[in-house]
Amino acid sequence: MIKLSHVTKRYPNGHEALHDVSFDIKPGEMVFVAGHSGAGKSTLFKLITRIEKPTSGQILVDQQNLVRLPERKIPALRRDIGVIFQDHKLLMDRSVFDNVALPLIVIGMPHDEIQKRVRAALGKVGLAGKEKQLPITLSGGEQQRVGIARAVINRPNILLADEPTGNLDDALSDEIIDIFADFNQVGVTVVIATHDSRQIERLGSRTLHLAHGQLINEPVSNPTETML
């Protein structure tokens, strides 16, 4: 579903954000990408959504070679990838309904179909009945749910979440990650960038560890313990 082969990304200022990264995420997998701030997690997501192109290497998403993907095919690629951000990037002066409906309004879907889809999406994230509220009147966890509803509204095959629980306490983080796990259960491929090792341990999903732009084996947190 998402395959990187020897991907290196060097920004115009010369900074190498990713170096020789290779991995293969299968359809229906749920995978964490772990790494400190600056490790290259956001760059990885920008490459997968073709916001950036790799300096070298190959990227396949949904069987499409992103290095050679023509510009006109980028919108369709992005509709098949739902992206969730830590700060959810909601329009604070627009209702929950408008925020979630936006990707459908953009493609000109008929209004009654939009209404049906928005209701269904809000139901899935546990926000039924909140469509008229402004995001500002919602709690942080609820705002993040609106961001998830907006990301799934086009029924994407892939969900990318960049630090989705960064601002939430443990209980709310669990709820948000469980929503992703629910989408994964119905076949959506889910990739979550996080430095929340608690979630990684709780879910036990495969984890790609990035450090300074390179994939590394899982760091041994306590060497003494492994020796005993």
Q: Going residue by residue from 4 to 43, which x/- string records binding to ligand ADP, judged by CB under 6 A?
A: -------x-x-x-x-----------------x-xxxxxxx
Could you tell me the end-to-end alpha-carbon distance of the chain, in angstroms, rounded to an integer? 40
How far, in Å, are 12, 23, 61, 153, 192 from residue 15 at the CA level? 7, 22, 25, 35, 24
Distances (CA, A) of 168 to 41, 87, 151, 172, 187: 19, 11, 19, 6, 26
Q: Which of 65, 137, 185, 197 binds ligand ADP (CB under 6 A)?
A: 137
Residues near ligand ADP (CB under 6 A), total: 18
The type of residue at 169 is D
CB of 149 to ligand ADP, least distance (A): 15
> Which residue type is seen at 147?
G
* Closer CB to ligand ADP, 41 or 88, in the complex: 41
- Count of beta carbons in the 10 Å neighbourhood of residue 130: 20
Instruction: Return the closest-CA partner of residue 180 out of 195, 196, 154, 158.
Output: 158
Cβ distance to ligand ADP smaller for residue 37 or 226 = 37
CB of 228 to ligand ADP, least distance (A): 33
- Cβ proximity to ligand ADP: between 139 and 185 the closer is 139
CA–CA gap between residue 95 and residue 99 (Å, rounded):
6
Residues 141-180 interacting with ligand ADP (rule: CB under 6 A):
141-142
Binding of ligand ADP at residue 65 (CB under 6 A)? no
Decide whether 113 or 218 has the Cβ nearer to ligand ADP: 218
> Which lies closer to ligand ADP via its Cβ, residue 13 or residue 222?
13
Which residues contribute to the site for ligand ADP (CB under 6 A)?
A: 11, 13, 15, 17, 35, 37-43, 137-142
